[in-house]
Structure 1
Amino acid sequence: MTDSVTPSQIARRTSAAVDAAVGAGRDLGLAVTDAVVLHDLFSVVVHLAPSPVVARVPTVLPHCTDLASLAHRQRAELDVTRWLAARGTPVIPPSPLVPREPVQRDGFSMTFWRFVEERREGEPDYEANSESVADLHAAMRDYPGRLSFLSSAEPEFVAESLTLLDKRRDLIGPDDLDRARREWQVLEPLVRSRAAFEEAFPGIDVQPVHGDSPPANIFPGVDGDLYSDFELVTLGPVEWDLAALGPALESAYDRGARRNGMRTLNGDVLGFVNAVGMLRVIACLTLTSQLPSLLGYLEPSIEQWRAMPFAGGVVGRHG
């Protein structure tokens, strides 16, 4: 069994990320006297007060992610959000006070964002959020930059994790791992190749999409809701952004799609993205040594996966 980090080790990791963000911010000319950690899970998000700038420092990453590949992903996020902000789309934009590039320091790669005051009263309205994702998709359709097809599925991470989990039977049993590997044999070609996807799902267009469950990544700002956290922005079917959210939120999205003159969600593609999303959940078991609390979030999804059709029913269409 692989040892997991201890609370004290997590605290040191957080402290190191904060120190790196403060040092990088000061090197860029920001006044930083009171760094405040706003969030600490997969990334340390720190307000570099009194400057109106937030640094986001990824700290829990797949073993196959290095600083170069992380920076490539971060540049895509910065480019997309800068483009959306310039067109009036309500997003948290990159900070205009520093160069809009990832900054590497002390083994971390970080990005800098405009500080937005959070509205703390009330609970998220996920149906309203899901409906508004169609507005985001309408805004993103014309993005002129280059994005990789379904990079947010992280196929290298999934493939590597299914190998690593063979030695982590404390995390997943042999029957579950065997099913996951057989599903990946079906799904991987459609994840890695746009042409294979389009052959399996004729007539389904792809476009720039958020990549990481945008209904759960809408920031409640005091002056209005803002789309945020485009770390996994990608080219793919719109269904990718609604993966595993269920019929009520799918119906809410469809209302927004019809309002925007866009197609509604396709059931077969939803089956595909739901299945791929579940294999990403299983892959995330390999991250629990870095973030032990993650296991409690993953286990309910794995229970749900066991009751789902094999490979989301894709095997009957492309097998």
Structure 2
Amino acid sequence: MTTTFLTPQQLADRTAAAVEAAVAAGRELGLTVTDPTVLHDVFSVVVHLAPSPVVARIPTVLPRPDDLAALARRQQDELDVTRWLGDRGVPVIAPSPLVPREPVQRGGFSMTLWPFVEEDRDKEPDYVANAESVADLHAALRAYPGRLEFLSAAEPGFIAESLARLDRHPGLIAAAELDRARREWQVLEPLVRSRRAFEDRFPGVELQPIHGDCPPANIFSGVDGDLYADFELVTLGPVEWDLAALGPEHEAAYDRGARRNGTRPLDEEVLGFVNALGMLRAIATLTLAPQLPDLMEYLKPAVDKWQTMPFAGGISS
């Protein structure tokens, strides 16, 4: 089966449609929007609804683009968590106070609205320092009272569906690699599908609200300081998930932060589990490449690295 990728024109049309939907939604909410400016366009289109100090984030590359209800539920979790953190003085990009704190659906998209924060473009990201800071974020999140799903950030349904149909796209992954991925999934799937199975396999490893999407890479450098951002995959899970695939230097930095604030250090066995699980999620993401052709360039190094790693992160079935 030939894999068909979106053309540059189709990608541009999708971006334009997302911007149009965001502008219309902003105006309906009473915002003045005369000069919309796209700030970012990869998995989501992020557009400043200028001159209003509001930014719309519109997810456009999704496993199930038509399931706006499921997307909106996750977006509401993000809005609730970030508002809760902001109310407690945690440095976070919280929802815009100028509009209702809820997802907005328009033109076949579901979007969230945030304050415009000026970026410090001269500051180079320090991912090691950021990893240490994540321990502080975890300490703050421990008290979050809202209900979150167990390891929803791993998207087990997406992994299972993707591994089941990747053999129809031989240009995306070799047969031997797909076979290994499927065998690893047989080992790992029960531990991500069931909180009880996870807790039985890793006794004493506490679960808590976590960021869900590599927070060391999602700390925004604002002109007035760093802010935790992009909680789109916020979930309940082990803190190790937020350090998956980052390596020993970042893990050591996190442990320094944990010692400083009195929380637990990372567990080696759980790291093995989340590293392997994260790699399977990356392989599943290959199925999104037709929607975002540049993904192949970014995912190939991850697939190459995965092949050097212990099978299923050293977790036995």
Q: TM-score range by the shorter chain?
A: over 0.9
Cα RMSD after superposing both structures? 0.7
The residue that corresponds to 1:187 in the other structure is 188
Q: Post-superposition shift, 1:102?
A: 0.3
Pairing 1:298–2:293 present: no
The residue that corresponds to 1:126 in the other structure is 127
Equivalent pair of 2:258/2:264 in contact (CA under 8 Å): yes
Q: C-alpha distance in 2, partners of 1:168/1:72?
A: 31
Q: C-alpha distance in 1, partners of 2:66/2:303?
A: 24
- 5 Å matches for 1:129-278? 129-278=130-279
Q: Post-superposition shift, 1:166?
A: 1.3
SS across alignment from 2:50: strand
Q: Deviations over 1:260-284 (max 9, x none)?
A: 1011000000000000000000001
The residue that corresponds to 1:95 in the other structure is 96
Q: Post-superposition shift, 1:122?
A: 2.6
- TM, length-normalised to structure 2: 0.99
Opposite residue 174 of structure 1, the aligned amino acid is: A
Opposite residue 298 of structure 2, the aligned amino acid is: Y
The residue that corresponds to 2:311 in the other structure is 310
SS across alignment from 1:264: coil
Pairing 1:24–2:36 present: no
Opposite residue 86 of structure 2, the aligned amino acid is: A
Opposite residue 122 of structure 2, the aligned amino acid is: E
Q: Deviations over 1:161-184 (max 9, x none)?
A: 001201011111111111100100
Q: C-alpha distance in 2, partners of 1:107/1:48?
A: 19
Q: Post-superposition shift, 1:63?
A: 3.0
The residue that corresponds to 1:45 in the other structure is 46
Q: Deviations over 1:71-98 (max 9, x none)?
A: 0000000000000000000000100011
Q: Post-superposition shift, 1:143?
A: 0.1
Q: C-alpha distance in 1, partners of 2:189/2:22?
A: 37
Equivalent pair of 2:92/2:227 in contact (CA under 8 Å): yes
Q: Deviations over 1:283-319 (max 9, x none)?
A: 010000000001100000000000000000111xxx2
SS across alignment from 1:33: coil
Opposite residue 72 of structure 2, the aligned amino acid is: A
Q: Deviations over 1:138-193 (max 9, x none)?
A: 00000000000000000010001001201011111111111100100110110011
SS across alignment from 2:5: coil
Task: Tell me how many residue pairs correspond in the alignment.
Answer: 316
Q: C-alpha distance in 2, partners of 1:116/1:86?
A: 17
Equivalent pair of 1:44/1:58 in contact (CA under 8 Å): yes
SS across alignment from 2:36: strand
Q: Post-superposition shift, 1:2?
A: 1.9
**Identity level (%):** 72
Equivalent pair of 2:45/2:57 in contact (CA under 8 Å): yes
Q: After TM superposition, what 4+ stretches of structure 1 lie above 3 angstroms from structure 2? A: none
Q: Post-superposition shift, 1:52?
A: 0.6
Of 101-110 and 60-69, more deviation after overlay is shown by 60-69
SS across alignment from 2:48: strand
Q: C-alpha distance in 2, partners of 1:63/1:20?
A: 19
The residue that corresponds to 1:80 in the other structure is 81
Equivalent pair of 2:289/2:296 in contact (CA under 8 Å): yes
Q: C-alpha distance in 1, partners of 2:37/2:276?
A: 38
Equivalent pair of 1:64/1:157 in contact (CA under 8 Å): no
**Aligned pair in 2 of structure 1 residues 65, 215: CA closer, same or farther (>3 Å)?**
farther
Equivalent pair of 1:64/1:156 in contact (CA under 8 Å): no
Q: C-alpha distance in 2, partners of 1:173/1:32?
A: 47
